[in-house]
Structure formats: structure tokens, C-alpha cells
């Protein structure tokens, strides 16, 4: 039986006097995430030394570099402010001097090699390594104050350590999160080497852009979304794909697709697609294979299914750099458009399921490129529809473009990185591949029996495609 011991609980803030009091308004990109469950991202690193060595050598560097990084990524040490009467005052993000984030250091007796395994494992294995956001505070006038991030570092003696971040999606999207993590990692690595001149301040690791005035809202979407949230029914809304936290007999696994397999899948899909497309992306073929296999694995474990039921694939597109929006690539916050593919269950499990999905995703991407905000007017009602009980929804989180395995704090690249919250949501995650350049990793959590079926179906689909070449 594994155990966990909390060694230290403290608060980490930007350096004293480094920041003035600051407020950031929420934009129409932020509001839809208001009722999203906290996002949890974990990284595992090799560290073959005892706990006391970690506490004496690595921990001070990680703490100091985190403080320096929060000076630039201050929203993560800030709070979400929800006024007592949101009808009159819209929620916003507020930073006050000495604001900080919760930081926990723990020690675990868990098996490091099991935790970083790609093979199916009980979803509860990672839960002790995940920090919980502190409860909100209520000020005298009824204003509620919600912390936006918590971090936990867990030492697994003589094996490694994990860094897990839990944060409120209102603070920013995946690109903002990984911008922050990579910046923190770069400062940590430079500090460990003793050469702060190594801290990269160029390209993707330049300083974040916080000016929310660059997000133009000609359609008045922020007001529309805010009114929707204040509606009595909307207040119960959760983000599409979120389900109750039921972990009984649930396992998580990481499916690794090599570049060779991805290229064969792309070649086959391109030949089959009806749209005359010259190039099918890794994202398209991966999502097509995984979604079809998930639906087939569900059908094999359910006696009665409605083949006419619409199933939904939801994925997100980064709007930074879009010419009609003029939002810079370093913008910090949420800047995502929602894309939705709807296909009948019978078509998904049919002979041409993968091709049907690939065509559907390609059409959605094509339409998004024509108009990034084309779904914006109906977004909140779309989310409410998708969140209804009984809906068949898969949400795609993450992206290989985020480069999670490039996050080196000074002890090498991660042995594993994953989105922990997959086990309580209807999501799958995509990321770059640690050991196979050009490959892709897919993370997901399913009931144990269904996971076995799913993995067998994926292998069968890939073997069939190779055999048809």
C-alpha cells in the first residue's frame, strides 16, 4: 500500500515590490470557461537520489525560479473576483501585492516506474500527487475571491519527482499554461547551471502579453455570455464532456503512435477522403482513429444502442495570430474557438467511420479558417446542449504543438507528462511524443474492460490499414 507524506505547505509569490496592484478584465474568450472543472497537468522527472538531497538541492531552485516567473505570469498568483451582485459588476482577475499561490511539497512511496508507464493503470494512482485549489474566501461585502492555481511537487525517493499544477481555466488556456511552465523551467535550468544568461527571452519564451484591450468584441459577445451565465439554468452548466467523478474500475493509458504509423494512416486517409484534399494532418487522422475506436469500444460493451444518435467531437482552435483578430502569439489568457463535429453513431462504427470523421474535421477546420468566430454566437447554447445527460461527447484537449516534453527544469526532459483531469471528464489529450520524434501520444481514461477493448480495436484498425496499402 503506497503512502504519501506532506513535507511542507507554503505560499509562493512574485518577488516583493516587483508588481503593482493590477486588474485584468475577462474577455468573451474567458467567460465560457466559468464552470469548467479545474485543469490538472502533471510532469514526472528522473531523480535517482534520496528525499533529503532533493530538498537541499533541487527544491530551493524550483521555488526561487517559480517566484521569478510569477513576476511575469502574475495571473497564476492572482485571484478571480466575483462581486456579490454580478448583474452589476462582471467578475475579473485581481492581483494585489503579496498575492501568492499554494505550494505543497510531499513524499510518496509509490512505484515511479508504474506511474510513468503507458500501460493501463488505476486512475487513482496519480490522485495523491495532485494539488487542490484552496477554497474561495468571502469578503465583508459578499465578494468571493477564488485562487487560480496550486502546485504540488512530490518526491519519489531514489527514483524521481513530479510537478503537478491545478489551475482555473479562466486564468488562461493551454498555450498560456505551457508558456508559463516553460518559462519557469528555463529559469530553473539556468539557475541550476549558474548561468542566468541562458534564460531564453526570445521566440516562444518571450514575455507574456497581458493587454486585454487587444481582444476586440464587435459582436458584444462578452455581454451575451455573461447574461447567459446569470440565467438560472446556465449557472448549473458544466463544460461539455465533464461527468461526475466516478473512478471505480477506471484506468488511464497512453497510446503512442509512431511517426511511421501516423504517416501510413495519413496516406491511407488522404486516398479515401472525398474532399480532394492533398494533405491530411496528424491531428485529423489521430482524432479520427481514436474517436471511432472509442465509439466501437463503447458499443461492444453495451447491448442496446441507437445508431441514429448524434455523437460529438469537440476540439479547440487557437485564434492567436489570426489576421482578423490581431492578437499576438504571446497573448496570455484564453484565445480559443470551439469546433464541433457531429456524426451519427451508425456512421462512426461503419466501414468508412475513420474517413467520415476525417472529412468532418477537415470541413470544420476549413470553416474555422474562413471565420474564426463563426460559432461564437451560439457557443453557450451549444455547450448547454452538449452537457445534457446522455449525450455522447468526446473533447480533445492539448496539442502536440504545445511541446510538453520540451519542459526541462534542469534535470532532463520529462519521463512522462499528462492531463490528470481526463479521468473525470469525457476528454482525450494529445501531446508530442517523448521518445519517438514525429510521433504523437494520446492519453485517455476508460473503464478497465472497455480500455482493453479500445486498445485492441485501435491495433486492429491500424493493421487493417497497413494491409490495404
Identify the active-site residue in 72, 169, 178, 421: 169
Is 46 an active-site residue? no
Identify the bridge partners of residue 212 per DSSP, sorted by sequence position: none
DSSP string spanning 151-171? EEEEEETTTEEEEEEEE-GGG
- Look at residues 144, 156, 130, 127 and name the one whose alpha carbon lies nearest to residue 79: 144
Helices (H), 157-249: 174-193, 221-230
- Non-local CB neighbours of 86 within 8 Å, separated by 6+ positions: 226, 229, 230
Q: How far is CA 378 from CA 213, 224, 338, 339, 401, in A?
A: 23, 10, 11, 12, 28
- Residues with Cβ within 8 Å of residue 232, at least 6 apart in sequence: none
6 φ, ψ (degrees, to nearest 5): -80, 125
d(CA 364, CA 281): 13
Q: Is 118 marked active-site? A: no
The answer for residues whose C-beta is within 8 angstroms of residue 122's C-beta and 6 or more apart is: 247, 250, 251
- For 158, 181, 354, the CA distances from 151, given in Å and listed in that order, are 22, 11, 39
**Nearest residue to 395 (alpha-carbon basis) of 291, 270, 266, 286:** 291
Picking from 114, 451, 297, the residue whose alpha carbon sits closest to that of residue 442 is 451
Is the CB of residue 67 less than 8 Å from the CB of residue 47?
no
> Residues 147, 180: contact at Cβ < 8 Å?
no
Residues 6+ apart with CB under 8 A from 323: none
Closest CA to 94 of 171, 34, 27, 16: 171
What is the Cα–Cα distance from 401 to 67, expressed in whole angstroms? 27
CA proximity to 107, closest of 37, 174, 151, 162: 162
Conformational region of residue 333, where left means phi above 0, alpha means psi within -120 to 50, and beta covers everything else: left
Q: Which of 111, 118, 122, 408 is catalytic?
A: 408
What residues are paired with 162 via a beta bridge?
44, 154
Residue 272's Cβ-count burial label (10 Å; 0-12, 13-18, 19+) is middle
Which residues are the active-site residues?
A: 169, 408
Amino acid at each position: 500500500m503506497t503512502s504519501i507524506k506532506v513535507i511542507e505547505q507554503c505560499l509562493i509569490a512574485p518577488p516583493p515590490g516587483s508588481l503593482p496592484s493590477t486588474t485584468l478584465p475577462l474577455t468573451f474568450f474567458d467567460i465560457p470557461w466559468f464552470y469548467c472543472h479545474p485543469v490538472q497537468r502533471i510532469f514526472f522527472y528522473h531523480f535517482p537520489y534520496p528525499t533529503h538531497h532533493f530538498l537541499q538541492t533541487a527544491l530551493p531552485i524550483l521555488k526561487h525560479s517559480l517566484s521569478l516567473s510569477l513576476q511575469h505570469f502574475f495571473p497564476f498568483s492572482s485571484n478571480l473576483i466575483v462581486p456579490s451582485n454580478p448583474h452589476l459588476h462582471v467578475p475579473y482577475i485581481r492581483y494585489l501585492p503579496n498575492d501568492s499561490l499554494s505550494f505543497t511539497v510531499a513524499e510518496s512511496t509509490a512505484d515511479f516506474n508504474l506511474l510513468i508507464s503507458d500501460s493501463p493503470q488505476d486512475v487513482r494512482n496519480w490522485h495523491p500527487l495532485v494539488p487542490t485549489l484552496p477554497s474561495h474566501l468571502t469578503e465583508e461585502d459578499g465578494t468571493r475571491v477564488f485562487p487560480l492555481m496550486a502546485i504540488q511537487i512530490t518526491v519519489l525517493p531514489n527514483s524521481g519527482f513530479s510537478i503537478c499544477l491545478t489551475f482555473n481555466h479562466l486564468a488562461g488556456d493551454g498555450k498560456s499554461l505551457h508558456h508559463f511552465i516553460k518559462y519557469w523551467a528555463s529559469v530553473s535550468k539556468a539557475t541550476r547551471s549558474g548561468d542566468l544568461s541562458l534564460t531564453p527571452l526570445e521566440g516562444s519564451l518571450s514575455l507574456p502579453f497581458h493587454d486585454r484591450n487587444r481582444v476586440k468584441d464587435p459582436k458584444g459577445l462578452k455581454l451575451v455570455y455573461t447574461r447567459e451565465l446569470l440565467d438560472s439554468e446556465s449557472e448549473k452548466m458544466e463544460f461539455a464532456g465533464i461527468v461526475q467523478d466516478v473512478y471505480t474500475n477506471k484506468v488511464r493509458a497512453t497510446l503512442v503512435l509512431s511517426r511511421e504509423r501516423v504517416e501510413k494512416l495519413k496516406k491511407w486517409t488522404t486516398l479515401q477522403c472525398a474532399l480532394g484534399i492533398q494533405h491530411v494532418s496528424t491531428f485529423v487522422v489521430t482524432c479520427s482513429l481514436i474517436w471511432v475506436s472509442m465509439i466501437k469500444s463503447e458499443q461492444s460493451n453495451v447491448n442496446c444502442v441507437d445508431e441514429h444518435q448524434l455523437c460529438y467531437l469537440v476540439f479547440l482552435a487557437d485564434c492567436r495570430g489570426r489576421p482578423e483578430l490581431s492578437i499576438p502569439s504571446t497573448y496570455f489568457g484564453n484565445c480559443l474557438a470551439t469546433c464541433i463535429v457531429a456524426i451519427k453513431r451508425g456512421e462512426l462504427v461503419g466501414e468508412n467511420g475513420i474517413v467520415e470523421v476525417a472529412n468532418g474535421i477537415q470541413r470544420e477546420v476549413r470553416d474555422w479558417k474562413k471565420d474564426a468566430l463563426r460559432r461564437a454566437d451560439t457557443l453557450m447554447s451549444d455547450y448547454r446542449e452538449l452537457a445534457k445527460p446522455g449525450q455522447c461527447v468526446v473533447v480533445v484537449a492539448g496539442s502536440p504543438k504545445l511541446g510538453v516534453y520540451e519542459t526541462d527544469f534542469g534535470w532532463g526532459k520529462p519521463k512522462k507528462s499528462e492531463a490528470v483531469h481526463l479521468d473525470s471528464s469525457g476528454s482525450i489529450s494529445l501531446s508530442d511524443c517523448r521518445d519517438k520524434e514525429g510521433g504523437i501520444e494520446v492519453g485517455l481514461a476508460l473503464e478497465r474492460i472497455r480500455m482493453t477493448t479500445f486498445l485492441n480495436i485501435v491495433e486492429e484498425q491500424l493493421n487493417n490499414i497497413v494491409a490495404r496499402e
